[in-house]
């Protein structure tokens, strides 16, 4: 069971260059993403309605896609517009379509009731469009349910143990950090954690040699079903970061979007951005590689966890205090799925 | 659910040379095929009735096979004739047997009610026995239900899109071809398609350099559950092929047999034959390789299609006009399975 | 369904050197085995009660194990004794524990009702502790149910056909051997087989060049659910072995323990021991390698058999005379499982 009436990331825009017919399973549905000759990104069912052949193995023709099994041609509205060797085409011969929005760097898709798709509900991450901010977008495929990845992100304390030598820096992080009250929002939560008078973690030390002790902050914003937006910063220690003085600080913006492929697998889109003025590409590269190293530490744990939970459906997890954000997010998702089901029941 | 009271191809005869104990799953049943010292091909259950060990890992002894777990010896009637270390053998200790017919190049098997096995019902393909006709028999293993392969063959128009650059030659094939009326038979169908004034397709061009424009014909005969017999020819354009004048034509005969291994996998036996007088082996090789290249184009589509259908059992296919032969063949198979079930119900 | 109120081998003691956190699935349960700083071997659930992370990917700290996801620390009693960043720990936050006994070379575990664990019930194999006896303990992982391996061992006649060229020596073994009456015990069986005036089998011939014809004996003792204890010997032919005269004989002691991992996979622990005075290591090596070669012959058959039985749950095996020990052992295991289930029903 997934939330359906919401936007998901379907692809990075750059995945659709060169007339690529990108077949991708999203929420158990086979979707074909492509950019037509008119420049519009389209999403149609990746399954010919005739014999079920993959349209992603077909051929782009203008704004249409031809199935290369028996040659049926489909336009961007999903309608079959040509059956080679047959004079007429039944008007109801069509494949499903999905609303998509191409924001420039991300392609968003609405998998649920198409009439409800509202572009203004796309989670904003303005740094992607801001020429001052730099980073290399990337993708990972997870052998786990998307919520286990969101759970991981919802408790940032995990950086102390999972990422000690990469993103975290010290197990003391979890003992010494101070947290703001959890802001429970209608569509997610917001939380800031500070680690005062600490050392730069390894991944920052690689690109910043001069700073001594720092005050570190992480402001996490998560949105249903599974978006993670993080502002991270490092200020010279004692210069008043908790009072809002960010002068002389290093700042990063991190975006992570989890899109269910199936119940047990997930598309993971991410970018980590900085606003340095010099060595821009070097720094982008270094940050990309450091973060990816950290993500593999997560992936190792989460995919094993998936297997453990799968092996024993009776197993009940036990919450600890720092699970409050996780619990709120899971509760919200469950609520929204319930509402969607009730809505469908009323319609029927 | 498979048709059972019919002949299936179990193996090419040449697969049973050198005392080979060939274990092969046919219609979900484990079968051991072997040629005894008397030259007869036998088919017995590939599963010792004692502890279920594979007899195909056993040892051929004359016309018998010894299980190499505890040494039980079975003869070609399936009876256990020796239990080492035990004086008597219970008379009902036996494994299943199947009627087989070795036609010289093909081994046919009857998987259903053994009393009904009637050699005269074996689909004829005389070119296999004709010294004027040449070709290299071969085998492919498919990760798909056997009917998806038969479907593919039932609509020969697919050569326009799937095999444009190999067996088809042009997408115009589907637009320009003329078809005879579909002959719906009790055990299959027959259909001829002509493509007048066309170019030789790439696979023929490799072995025939002089012909110009040709009139091409394909006479397809399919038989339940899944046999494909094709006569293909190329005549100099305008010399009256539709009136039966085959003078100066190149002719080929193609046999393809699909035998279900399981619901989701298939044994595919095929041969493509020519009657050229010179360069016989070169031409056989060239045709074999060209056809195989084409079959891999099919396999790529069909195995993906199998996965698509498997992933969503709710998905309903939509027929187009050229599906008439396919629909007739599927209807026949369903009828015959129904009749077999009714027959079993009456017997019980 | 497994017997639970009994001892199983969980590991060889030497597997727990160097602070190893050994995660192993036993009877479908994920178990973490480790030796604490106090030298005691512990077995706790290999699954953090917080989020299900594997504790075997954690860190040994004294006698405790820390989960490296969020840092929870568990002691050998299974209790969580620290949650980093949280002041109090709920007293009921714990993981399961299992009684283990480390006999010096083997680690035994009791997977059932912990109150019933009784060290005196561990199947004795004194040769493991006897400085006169030598052998290299080893482990194999089987893709089969544990009972198919036990079945194999229960009928030693299989050495004639499966191990003709390795452990058996001749197909005549099964024809010429004489057996003692089967001793049906409450927890297993005992049986001796003699092969008089026979040749040394290949595996003994490798380490003993001078002996001529021998009288060979195998005394098998099996215990529920799946322990195999074998005394094997070779005496100069005609010197009275059946009357108890073992003078001048070569003797071996073999221990094999099968511990279910899942219904379809098994941990197989084994050692083959000799008491030679010279070339001790060479002989241990030779025997180890010979026996392993034989075990792979078994494994090949048994894993194929597992697949055959799995593919057709309707298939019914047929017993032969030499299956009497096998049948008794399977009957005992079924009885004991039934008793365990009745005991649980009464408690509820």
* Nearest one of C70, C79, C51, C49 to C59, comparing CA atoms: C70
Mean pLDDT value across chain C: 96
Q: Which residue from C298, C338, C329 is spatially nearest to C2, judged by alpha carbons?
A: C338
Q: What is the pLDDT of residues C66-119, one digit of tens each?
A: 999 999 999 999 999 999 999 999 999 999 999 999 997 999 999 999 999 999
Closest CB to B162: pick one of A66, A68, A90: A68
Residues 6+ apart with CB under 8 A from C294: C159, C162, C163, C166, C167, C203
Neighbours of A, requiring at least 3 CB pairs below 8 Å, are: B, C
Residues of chain B with pLDDT > 90, as a percent, come to 94
Q: Does C158 touch chain B (CB under 8 A)?
A: yes
Q: What is the pLDDT of residue A256?
A: 98
Q: Are B146 and B269 in contact (CB under 8 A)?
A: no
Count Cα atoms within 13 angstroms, Cβ side, for B221.
12
Show residues of chain C in contact with B84, CB under 8 Å: 157, 160-161, 171, 174-175
pLDDT of residue C346: 85
Q: Which residue does chain C place closest to A160, by CA atoms?
A: C70
Lowest mean per-residue pLDDT among A161-175, A326-340, B128-142, B254-268: A161-175
DSSP track, A28-61: TEEEEEEE-TTS-EEEEESS-TTT---GGGSEEE
- Alpha carbon of C114: minimum distance to chain B alpha carbons (Å): 36
Min Cα distance B261 → chain C (Å) is: 13
State the DSSP H helix or E strand holding residue C175, giving kind and residue range, or none if neither: helix C172-176
Residues A333, A338, A343, CA angle at the centre, nearest 5°?
125
3-state DSSP call for residue C240? coil
Task: Render pLDDT for A83-132 as a digit per residue (tens, 0 to 9).
Answer: 999 999 999 999 999 999 999 799 999 999 999 999 999 999 999 999 99
**Phi, psi of B321, rounded to the nearest 5 degrees:** -55, -40
Question: Does B151 sit within 8 Å of A85, measured CB to CB?
Answer: no
**A321 in reach of chain C (CB within 8 A):** yes
Interface contact flag, A71 B304, Cβ < 8 Å: no
Question: Who contacts B49 (Cβ-Cβ below 8 Å, separation ≥6)?
Answer: B72, B80, B93, B94, B95, C317, C318
Shortest distance between the Cα of C87 and any Cα of chain A, in A, equals: 10
Of A151, A175, A308, Cβ closest to residue C30? A308
What DSSP state is assigned to residue C199?
A: P
Q: SS3 for B282?
A: helix
Q: Supply the pLDDT for residue C154.
A: 97
Judge: B300–A47 Cβ closer than 8 Å, yes or no.
Answer: no
Q: In the structure, what pLDDT confidence band is assigned to residue B346 with cuts at 50, 70 and 90?
A: confident
pLDDT digits (tens, 9 = 90+) for C257-310: 999 999 999 999 999 999 999 999 999 999 999 999 999 999 999 999 999 999
What span, in angstroms and rounded, lies between the C-alpha atoms of C193 and C242?
10
Which of B174, B309, B322 is the closest to A52 by Cβ?
B309
Model confidence at C17, pLDDT cuts 50, 70, 90, reads: confident
Tokens representing A271 are 């970018």
With both helix axes pointing from N to C terminus, report the angle between A146-154 and A324-347 in degrees, rounded to the nearest 10.
Answer: 140
Measured in angstroms, the CA of B65 and the nearest CA of chain C are apart by 13
Which of B47, B50, B53 is closest, CB to CB, to C301? B53
Residues C55 and C70: beta-carbon distance below 8 Å: no
Question: Considering only CA atoms, which of A102, A52, A94 is closest in space to residue A77?
Answer: A94
pLDDT of residue B338: 97
**Helix pair angle (B146-154, B280-311), 10° resolution:** 120
pLDDT band at A301 (very low <50, low <70, confident <90, very high): very high
Locate the DSSP E strands across chain B: 7-12, 22-26, 29-35, 41-45, 59-61, 64-66, 73-74, 80-82, 97-102, 106-110, 138-142, 178-179, 183-185, 188-198, 214-223, 227-236, 250-262, 265-274
Rg, Å, chain A Cα set: 23
DSSP one-letter code for B143? S
How many angstroms separate the CA atoms of B303 and B143, rounded? 6
Task: Tell me what pLDDT residue A346 has.
Answer: 85
Q: How far is B77 from chain C (nearest CA, A)?
A: 18
Nearest to A318 among C50, C54, C71 (CB): C50
Task: Work out the pLDDT band at A218, boundaries 50, 70, 90.
Answer: very high
Judged against a pLDDT cut of 80, whether residue B339 lies above it is answered with: yes
Gap between the Cα atoms of C68 and C82, Å rounded:
13
CA gap C302, C291 in Å, rounded: 16
User: b or e along C295-321 (b: 16 or more beta carbons within 10 Å of the residue's beta carbon)?
Assistant: bebbbebbbbbbebbeeeeeeeebebe
User: How does the average pLDDT of chain A come out, rounded?
Assistant: 96
Judge whether residue B104 has pLDDT over 80. Answer: no
Residue B326 has pLDDT above 80, yes or no: yes
**Burial classification of residue C35, based on how many CB atoms lie within 10 Å of its CB (0-12 exposed, 13-18 middle, 19 or more buried):** buried
Split at pLDDT 50, 70, 90, the class of B347 is confident
- CA atoms of B170 and B197, how far apart (whole Å): 12
> What pLDDT sits at residue B345?
86
**Cβ distance of C85 and A322 shorter than 8 Å:** yes
Q: Is 0.90 surpassed by the pTM of this model? A: yes
Provide the shortest C-alpha distance from residue B303 to chain C (in Å): 23
Pairwise CB contact (< 8 Å): C317 & B30: no
Can you tell me which residue has the tokens 């009921």? C92
pLDDT of residue A200: 96
Over the stretch A309-329, which tens digit does the pLDDT of each residue have? 999 999 999 999 999 999 999
Closest partner CB to B69 (pick from C161, C175, C318): C161
In C, which residues are within 8 Å of A151 by CB distance? 51
Q: How many CB atoms lie within 10 A of CB B342?
A: 10
Q: Is the predicted pLDDT of residue C151 greater than 80, yes or no?
A: yes
Q: Which helix (H) or strand (E) holds A220?
A: strand A214-223
Question: Does the N-terminal peptide bond of residue C134 adopt cis geometry, omega within 30 degrees of 0?
Answer: no
Token pair for residue A249?
């600080």
Reference B333, options B147, B156, B123; nearest CA is B147
Please name the helix (run of DSSP H) or strand (run of DSSP E) that holds residue A345, with its range, or none: helix A324-347
CA distance linking residue B169 with residue B189, whole number of Å: 25
What domains are there in chain C, each with its CATH number?
7-121 (2.102.10.10), 126-338 (3.90.380.10)
pLDDT tens for each residue of A39-64: 999 999 999 999 999 999 999 999 99
User: Could you count the other beta carbons within 10 Å of the beta carbon of residue B18?
Assistant: 6
Alpha helices in B81-212 (DSSP H): 146-154, 172-176, 202-205
Given this model, what pLDDT does residue A17 score? 87
Cα–Cα distance, B339 to B341 (Å, whole number):
5
Q: Which of B107-116, C51-60, C167-176 has the lowest mean pLDDT?
A: C167-176
pLDDT score, position C102? 96
- Main-chain phi, psi angles of B162, to 5 degrees: -75, -40
Q: Compare all CA atoms of chain B with the CA of C309 and give the residue at the minimum distance.
A: B52
Q: For residues B270 and B273, what is the distance between their CA atoms, to the nearest angstrom?
A: 10
Predicted local confidence at residue A71, as pLDDT: 97
Distance from CA of C126 to the nearest CA of B (A): 32
Residue B344 pLDDT more than 90?
no
Asked if C86 and A158 come within 8 Å (Cβ–Cβ), the reply is no
Chain mean pLDDT for chain B: 96
Chain C residues touching residue A157 (CB < 8 angstroms): 70-71, 84-85
Chain A partners of C27 at a C-beta cutoff of 8 Å? none
C-alpha A220: how far from its chain's center?
A: 14
A296 at the C interface (CB within 8 A)?
Answer: no
Q: Distance from C176 to chain B by nearest Cα, in Å?
A: 8
Q: Which of residues 43-102 of C touch A (CB under 8 A)?
A: 47, 49-54, 57, 66-72, 83-86, 90, 93
Which pLDDT belongs to residue A104? 75
Q: Which residues pair with C98 in a beta bridge?
A: C43
| pLDDT for residue C216 is more than 90 | yes
Which residue in the set C162, C300, C315 is minimally distant from B52, CB to CB? C315
| pLDDT tens per residue across span B223-257 | 999 999 999 999 999 999 999 899 899 999 999 99
**Predicted confidence (pLDDT) per residue in B185-210, tens digit:** 999 999 999 999 999 999 999 999 99
Asked if A47's CB is within 8 angstroms of B322's CB, the reply is: no
C331's enclosing H/E stretch is helix C324-347
- Mean pLDDT, range B289-297, rounded to an integer: 97
């Amino acid at each position: 069971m997934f939330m359906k009436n919401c936007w998901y990331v379907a692809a990075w825009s750059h995945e659709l260059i060169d007339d690529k017919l990108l077949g991708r399973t999203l929420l158990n549905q086979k979707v074909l993403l492509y950019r037509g000759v008119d420049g519009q990104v389209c999403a149609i069912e990746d399954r010919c309605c005739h014999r079920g052949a993959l349209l992603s193995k077909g051929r782009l023709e203008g704004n249409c896609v031809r199935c290369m099994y028996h040659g049926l041609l489909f336009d961007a509205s999903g309608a079959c517009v040509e059956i080679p060797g047959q004079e007429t085409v039944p008007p109801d011969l069509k494949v499903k379509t999905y609303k998509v929005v191409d924001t420039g760097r991300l392609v968003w898709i609405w998998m649920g009731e198409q009439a409800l798709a509202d572009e203004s509900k796309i989670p904003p991450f303005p740094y992607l469009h801001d020429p001052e901010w730099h980073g290399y977008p990337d993708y990972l495929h997870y052998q786990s349910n998307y919520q286990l990845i969101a759970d991981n992100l919802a408790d940032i304390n995990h950086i102390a143990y999972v990422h000690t030598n990469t993103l975290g820096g010290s197990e003391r992080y979890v003992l010494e950090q101070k947290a703001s009250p959890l802001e429970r929002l209608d569509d997610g939560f917001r939380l800031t954690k500070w680690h005062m008078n600490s050392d730069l973690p390894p991944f920052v030390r690689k690109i910043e040699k001069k700073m001594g002790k720092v005050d570190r902050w992480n402001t996490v914003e998560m949105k249903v079903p599974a978006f993670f937006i993080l502002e991270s910063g490092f200020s010279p220690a004692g210069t008043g970061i908790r009072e809002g003085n960010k002068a002389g600080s290093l700042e990063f913006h991190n975006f992570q979007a989890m899109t269910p492929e199936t119940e047990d697998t997930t598309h993971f889109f991410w970018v980590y951005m900085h606003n340095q003025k010099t060595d821009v590409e070097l720094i982008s590269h270094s940050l990309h590689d450091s973060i990816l190293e950290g993500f593999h530490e997560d992936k190792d744990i989460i995919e094993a966890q998936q297997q453990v939970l799968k092996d024993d459906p009776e197993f009940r997890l036990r919450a600890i205090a720092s699970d409050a954000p996780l619990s709120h997010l899971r509760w919200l998702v469950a609520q929204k799925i319930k509402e969607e089901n009730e809505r469908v029941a009323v319609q029927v």
